[in-house]
Structure 1
């Protein structure tokens, strides 16, 4: 049974050009020493089955594995449809890392032996994204916000993963929208807001980050210190 047949049997649809790209990618990687390998039909069917039983995974289909119980999955429904995330066996973070399967395939073709952590990701994005990509990211942001408001109150784990995704795809011109999450009651959300604002070197967050250092959650305090250090480093690099 082919990848396409497994997906069709489970009523999961991927665009035809994406299916063709995955088919070619699979053939090219057969027998090669690679860190990420497309799953075979049995692995795929089993992965879809167990993930479908867990709320935070229900819109994700695993496609690649590193044979260490880590996966790369594709969103097949919702605001993040066709974006890719990493499914770690250690810590759950389902925020998008790639805009599409095409993007990851291109990166893997250039760097077949690299592990996931070493690959260049699409998200968080920099200032060099196209007008079309910016519009797409803002659309996803708005749809995720609407989803959170519509389903409120939502399961804490689901809310956390939605916000992880929302923050990951936030473009640099919209970073101000992340500032309220520095005061979020969920310490993991607060921590992630600190991490991303530090990653972007977002100077307007400096005073709020200092407040998190003083009064935040244990996770937030540590992340805020690191974020302030990153912001200072980026400031120094400019001069």
Structure 2
């Protein structure tokens, strides 16, 4: 705009104002999300993580085919049920799958492979890991992956991983990422099978409301 002759000063100022406004809105949105999570207790229900993950995978089947991604699901035998809010946990799985899909968008020199693995972790935890064959994690980005509004993508607000970590920590678990030896990255979370472990992390044994509609409203508020 400013390089035009004559310079479009009014247009440039408008762009600056929109950028500032969008930044303020994003900051306010994250503040409200954090407040929401801090006030609401997590619903402590028995969740079959394999079944929950399968439901999310089925929702993405068409998109996976469109992007030429081959997804494989591996599950251990006799897995215990996890404890938590099914909808929130499915939101995390969805975020991790979408993140893996986006990481493989520009991959054309090798097959696009995704592995979802669910197994027991440390006795009283269940772990779900999503491995992709994408570009991997750049060293300079490793410490910022879960920061709110950090993104290397052209589109999106960069809150998916941050919100996912918040959800998992509220379930008494942890979410982390590692680079693969050859290609891509693996994002994993581990959550308790015992309700008392989650209740201790949550600070309350009371059942909370599901957050999906609340989060959608916060994101869509002007």
TM-score bucket of the superposed structures, by smaller chain? under 0.3
TM-score by length of 1: 0.23
TM-score by length of 2: 0.24
The structure richer in helix per residue is 1
The structure richer in strand per residue is 2
- Larger Rg belongs to: 2
